[in-house]
């Protein structure tokens, strides 16, 4: 499978960067859930391109149209299909790319797998734009999860070498989430430094990477499965669907690999009559199953591969080296737009087990 996932809720994403429409089908949604369309639109807007100087100038409204599964605003038990339009496509920007794969992009791998019949425009099915239907699904699941007291929030943890503060992994809760900010960081002065970092990269016709931290709060202890079905497996497999993700770590993550057991183990204590851990190095997951503490993970995004600088590539038809300059509209950094995608991927991942 590729664009389909889920055990209970089957999610099927379709579209290409420059197809007229793209969308998602969700099978098996329970009936009777009222989708807050304004809230969903606000969620989509967090991902939408063209909002400011830090991202691509391609503008898309990303207005969600429900084709099926909704009657009078509520889910009706039939498969939900939601569609958005691709209005602002400029396929001619991609004409020469049919022969010259862009470094850092999927172009070469796509050509190797699909040959001449692949859709080249805008990266086709490999475009980051495919995260828009992921966000539709994730936005809907987030709403359903919130009715059950489960909240998901992500923020930019770093851009280049500039780091935001991290969530308080023990106490983080819904009110700490910063998704509503135009530039979703905890520490706004760090955010300003990050924006400068992005504009510097942009000024040099370059791009910059970053990391996103995500917290899931409200899952009680003892939920989830083991081994292949553990939360880390479930979450990571969805998060890696987001283009440009190159790493994921839970709790202390890679840092824990340099620690002693006595430093990394989280002591159990009783707080307000409940068993909790004093620290949360484990990131809310033990043996694949929730511990009742916030689930915390961080995701690494590589720098946007599309840059204005000249790069070395090859002509697929002539099998010779060529210099490539990429035109078109691109993000100097996608991390600020990616935070919402991480939330969406997490929502899709956990909905299967939690609903």
Site for a copy of itself in 110-149 (CB under 8 A): 110-119, 124-126, 130
Which one, 20 or 188, has the nearer CB to a copy of itself?
20
Distance CA(32)–CA(24), nearest Å, equals 19
Among 214, 245, 346, 350, interactor with a copy of itself by CB under 8 A = 245
Among 138, 218, 251, 294, interactor with a copy of itself by CB under 8 A = 251
Which one, 42 or 87, has the nearer CB to a copy of itself?
87
Which one, 189 or 257, has the nearer CB to a copy of itself?
257
Q: Which residues, numbered 144-183, are part of the site for a copy of itself (CB under 8 A)?
A: 158, 160-161
Binding mask 333-352 for a copy of itself (x = CB under 8 A): --------------------
User: What are the structure tokens assigned to 338, written together?
Assistant: 């990616």
Which one, 168 or 232, has the nearer CB to a copy of itself?
232
Q: Which residues, numbered 53-72, are part of the site for a copy of itself (CB under 8 A)?
A: 67-69, 71
Distance CA(168)–CA(162), nearest Å, equals 19
Beta sheet of 4-5, edge-to-edge order: 4-5, 10-14, 21-27, 80-85, 65-68
242-to-54, 94, 151, 239 alpha-carbon distances in Å: 19, 22, 20, 6
For position 280 contacting a copy of itself by CB under 8 A, the verdict is no
SS3 340: helix
Site size toward a copy of itself, by CB under 8 A: 146
SS3 197: helix
How wide is the angle at C-alpha 348 spanned by C-alphas 346 and 349, nearest 5°?
Answer: 60
Among 206, 328, 329, 355, interactor with a copy of itself by CB under 8 A = 206
Binding mask 13-42 for a copy of itself (x = CB under 8 A): xxxx--xxxxx-x-xx--xx----------
For position 187 contacting a copy of itself by CB under 8 A, the verdict is no
Task: With residue 144 as reference, give the H or E element that holds it.
Answer: helix 131-147
* 210 phi and psi angles, rounded to 5 deg: 180, -175
């Amino acid at each position: 499978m590729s664009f389909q996932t889920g055990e209970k809720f089957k999610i099927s994403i379709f579209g290409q960067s420059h197809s007229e429409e793209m969308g998602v089908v969700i099978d098996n949604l329970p009936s009777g859930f009222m989708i807050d369309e304004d809230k969903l639109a606000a969620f989509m807007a967090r991902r939408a391109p063209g909002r400011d100087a830090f991202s691509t100038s391609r503008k898309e409204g990303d207005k969600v149209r429900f084709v099926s599964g909704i009657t009078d605003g509520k889910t009706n038990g039939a498969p939900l299909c939601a569609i958005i339009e691709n209005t602002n496509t400029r396929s001619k920007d991609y004409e020469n790319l049919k022969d010259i794969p862009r470094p850092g992009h999927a172009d070469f791998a796509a050509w190797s797998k699909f040959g001449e019949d692949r859709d080249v425009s805008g990266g086709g099915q490999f475009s980051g734009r495919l995260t828009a239907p992921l966000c539709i699904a994730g936005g809907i699941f987030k709403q359903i999860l919130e009715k059950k007291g489960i909240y998901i929030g992500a923020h930019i943890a770093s851009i280049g070498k500039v780091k935001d503060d991290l969530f308080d992994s023990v106490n983080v809760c819904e009110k700490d989430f910063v998704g509503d900010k135009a530039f979703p960081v905890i520490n706004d002065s760090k955010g300003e430094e990050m924006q400068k970092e992005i504009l510097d990269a942009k000024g040099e016709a370059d791009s910059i990477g970053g990391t996103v931290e995500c917290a899931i709060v409200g899952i009680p202890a003892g939920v989830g499965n083991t081994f292949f079905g553990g939360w880390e497996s479930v979450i990571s497999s969805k998060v890696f669907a987001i283009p440009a993700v190159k790493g994921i770590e839970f709790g202390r993550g890679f840092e824990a690999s340099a620690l002693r057991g006595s430093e990394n183990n989280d002591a159990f204590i009783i707080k307000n009559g409940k068993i909790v851990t004093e620290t949360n190095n484990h990131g809310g997951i033990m043996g694949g199953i929730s511990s009742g503490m916030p689930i915390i993970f961080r995701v690494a995004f590589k720098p946007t591969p599309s840059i204005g600088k000249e790069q070395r590539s090859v002509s697929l038809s002539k099998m010779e080296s060529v210099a490539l300059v990429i035109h078109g509209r691109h993000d100097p950094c996608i991390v600020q737009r990616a935070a919402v995608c991480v939330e969406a991927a997490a929502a899709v991942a956990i909905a299967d087990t939690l609903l």
